Amino acid sequence: MERWDTLELAFSGKTNGNPFTDYDIKGTFSCDEEVKTVEGFYDGDGTYKIRFMPSFEGKYSYRIFGSFSEKEYEGDFTVETPSENNHGTVRVKNKFHFAYDDGTPYYSIGTTCYVWHLKDGEMKKKTLSSLEKAGFNKIRFCVFPKHYCYNTDDPEYFPFEGTPMDAGLVTKENFFSFNPHSEGNNWDFERFNPEYFRNIEYCISELRRLGIEADIILFHPYDRWGFSVMDNETDIRYLKYVIARFSAYRNVWWSLANEYDYMPEKTVEHWDEIGNYIMANDPYGHLRSIHNGPNIYDHTKPWVTHCSIQRCDMYKTAECTDEYRQKYQKPVVLDEIVYEGNIKEGWGNIAADEMVRRFWEAVCRGGYPGHGETYMSDDDILWWSHGGILKGESHKRVQFLLDILKEIPCHGLRRNPVSDFTNWDCVCAVPENDEDALRTGYHLYYFGFMQPSYRDFNFGGDDEYSVEIIDTMDMTITYVGKFKGYFIIDLPAKKYIAIRIQKAI
């Protein structure tokens, strides 16, 4: 196996009583650089599993033990150099940014398909293909099924043993009258349905194959089955199971909730309990955050690794990135800045160019935007919920923006702290760290809905600067030339133009 891949070991074990709760299985994995003890899980049919993600190369040994069996198991294996597209787990780096374990910067532009994993195999393949083609490197999706507009069917299977309320009772007209405490749901919250989780693991591993982070939403309010109102003990049992199953996948992120503040039965104390539990029990320290409705969570909490933010204002979201950075002192991921689409709901009907504008605003202020798409469809297949085929225009501009981010001659941007003309009509991004800024002279000016026909610059000194004009919608980069001192650049006098200036080599 290679470094940062998943080793899975399976063992037969006890089946009497409730194997999900009555027994445990643990594994200690050792190499020269690390010794890690991880929890396993019951996978049904008398099988217990342990998963492990090695953080180092070389020879590992392991010991498997626990009440699941009278026996213990030992063995060893060798971890090889990772292959080209395996960079490890994404972590916070350079305070406001992310990088993989191997140091490669990770510039996040994600999307959202809440329950794409619950669609059939063909649809899942379509979704994966769409993700790959657009270049998204993160996707947010829920563990639990979703009860919401454009999404009223029961899934094929459920996370717990038992039976759901009659889905036939749900219509477009009455679906808001169902609530998580609806009668007719009959679950054994102490017995998981391994098949349900195996499907999610298939999705996580397929995403990993494509280099896409799986931002897994652990709880959400769009529910008629009762999964959003389980008691605290059940929540923790569920987390323990999910951590045991998912955490050895290098591309996992933990999103505690979508719109946590629309779940009134969960207190902030309980969210913090959940966050702290994950922080203490996830052996790999995957990224952790929580997504808001109207009230942004207090992302200064120690368990929060980065901000996951939904817009709180009709006009400014991406534009608040620097404010959020200042306030929370962590990377800012804008996971919901309104979805491109045309549904009646106000969180799902911005125009494509406005979406792309928000991408650029976020990036030039040192944050990371998120995409979503909600175009009406006769078959009620909306990307944001189900995945499938992308129908919009903004996703076509994602790879282009990512390529520009990857070309930054340093790790991460921030808004230029030097107040200049940009305060009036554009945002100027410079390297996060002063020494990089000085060394590279890198400036990325973004003009959004402004349309100057020319701009003058005065960089002073004797250095030559190369200047390029970027059309962020048409996705062209036009080299203008090399300049020094005071110079004037003609611009196309249209919307959505950026200028990239950096020291000529």
Neighbours of 368 (CB within 10 A): 29
Coil, helix or strand at residue 159: coil
Residues that bind a second copy (CB under 8 A): 314-316, 319, 338, 341-347, 349-351, 353-354, 376, 421-426, 447, 449-456, 493-495
CA 99 vs. chain centroid, Å, equals 14
Are 42 and 23 spatial neighbours (Cβ–Cβ below 8 Å)? yes
Closer of 165 and 351 to a second copy (Cβ): 351
Cβ at position 338, least distance to a second copy in Å: 8
Q: Which amino acid is present at 174? A: N
Cβ at position 322, least distance to a second copy in Å: 12
Cβ at position 65, least distance to a second copy in Å: 53
Residues with Cβ < 8 Å from 128, sequence gap 6 or more? Answer: 206, 207, 210
Closer of 297 and 445 to a second copy (Cβ): 445
Scanning 19-117, the segments in alpha helix (DSSP H) are: 19-22
CA distance linking residue 267 with residue 298, whole number of Å:
13
Cβ at position 361, least distance to a second copy in Å: 9
Coil, helix or strand at residue 31: coil
Are 386 and 126 spatial neighbours (Cβ–Cβ below 8 Å)? no
Are 28 and 36 spatial neighbours (Cβ–Cβ below 8 Å)? yes
Cβ at position 378, least distance to a second copy in Å: 12
Closer of 272 and 319 to a second copy (Cβ): 319
Measuring CA to CA, which residue among 505, 373, 394 is closest to residue 442? 505
Closer of 136 and 457 to a second copy (Cβ): 457
Cβ at position 347, least distance to a second copy in Å: 6
Cβ at position 188, least distance to a second copy in Å: 39
Cβ at position 349, least distance to a second copy in Å: 4
CA distance linking residue 275 with residue 299, whole number of Å:
11
Closer of 210 and 376 to a second copy (Cβ): 376
Closer of 276 and 451 to a second copy (Cβ): 451
Closer of 316 and 396 to a second copy (Cβ): 316
Closer of 211 and 492 to a second copy (Cβ): 492
Closer of 131 and 501 to a second copy (Cβ): 501
CA distance linking residue 227 with residue 308, whole number of Å:
22
Cβ at position 394, least distance to a second copy in Å: 12
Which residue do the tokens 């102490």 mark? Answer: 190
Q: End-to-end CA distance of the chain, in Å?
A: 41
DSSP letter for each residue of 105-125: EE---EEE-TTGGGS-HHHHH
CA distance linking residue 287 with residue 296, whole number of Å:
18
